[in-house]
Amino acid sequence: MEPIRISPYTLIYIWAGVGLVAGLVLLLFGWYKGKAKLGALGLLSSVIGGALLGIFLIVPVFIIFVWLIYRTPRDSAAAETPADAEADET
């Protein structure tokens, strides 16, 4: 049985695909939390990071962007002032 050979370019495509899957998760999570721009940046970063260094860059990018998306408030909530919140209650 002959061993399977994978070219370096094939590995780049495989890791970019893994980065794409992780980035789509980031994009959906960002869209759900109201931070679609951070999710799109996470998608781009994970695909490029996956193509460059594979799993060694996908995982840190994923963790950092999940943390950024989770810790920042929604765009609409950040723009709302306390006076707007009081007006909504009445």
In which domain, by residue range, is 32 found? 11-73
Assess contact for 39 and 72: CB atoms under 8 A: no
Give the chain's largest Cα–Cα span. 77
- Is 23 inside a domain boundary? yes
Evaluate whether residue 81 is within a structural domain.
no
Euclidean distance between CA atoms 26 and 45, whole angstroms: 10
Identify whether 84 is part of a domain.
no
Residue 88 scores a pLDDT above 70: no
**Number of domains forming the structure of the chain:** 1
Q: What is the pLDDT of residues 24-73, one digit of tens each?
A: 999 999 999 999 999 999 999 999 999 999 999 999 999 999 999 999 77
Q: Which residues contact 39 (CB under 8 A, 6 or more apart)?
A: 26, 27, 28, 29, 30, 31, 65, 69
